Amino acid sequence: MLDADARAVLDLMEASGRPPLHTLSVEEARAAVRASLDALGKPPPPVGEQDIFADGPLGAVPLKLYRPLHAPEDVPLPVMVYFHGGGWMTGDLAYGAWFCASLADRAGIAVVSVDYRLAPEYPFPAGLEDCVAALRHVRREAPALAIDGTRIAVGGDSAGGNLAAACALWARDEGLPLSAQILLYPVTDLMEEHESYRRNADGFGLTADAMRWFRDAYRNGADAADWRLSPLRARRLKGVAPALVLTCGFDPLCAEGDAYADRLAGAGVPVNRIRYTDQIHGFVLWAKRVRAADQALSQIAEELRGRLFA
């Protein structure tokens, strides 16, 4: 059964009268996502924050570094590099502010959030290139940032989970060891619509139509079989970082997240699967309205502590 908090969120969405995302202009969709997060999310807890920049293919990529207040500024901390969701088309540094600050505080780590370029203005591979540039920057500048460059994780939600999975594959091939990849209801396959697309096509927040709109704008005609777009289609997954894969029962993306976890496990990659059978896509950032968000945050923090402090 659908969680009561999730049901209440869906009722709020319906009562707002907002048209479906895929029927809006890009700017209207971005404003709608910002408004939803304002209504459903909490303000970030007090942590240390620093605005930094990575050298990207077309100039500076804005980053925000979070550190727990209880950590001495000169002590190198493990880090998670976070890529926000929003269909590769919406979202910014504010999108994941509560999640990043809360995770830094609760896990006792640094978190670097990446403001990558968005489609449709900058379709694939622009966003991914910025994420890779951010990861390189964190590794290269680790001493100056009081980060332990030998203990790095990547993570993201939805489209950000897609970028995190692709970055984990890239890091393996580049010889940059990662300690973990945190994939929250990730997009893993742009070639095929899996079974949950039909089962959860409409009525649960994220719709199949909205996902098609996001995917088409980001892909922009590129080969959907490219592993950088569809990590599930990568020929080899052996040797990538250990993964936490979180999926939701009422989510169009549920089945492709499960399929990716299956492939990782089959390749000998340690996988921690967390299934919220009663939740909808996006709930982890909705701590103001969905009580399960705090539980999920604690599970993610525990996973990162286990991987980064081992």
207 touches 252 (CB < 8 A): yes
List the catalytic residues: 158, 251, 281
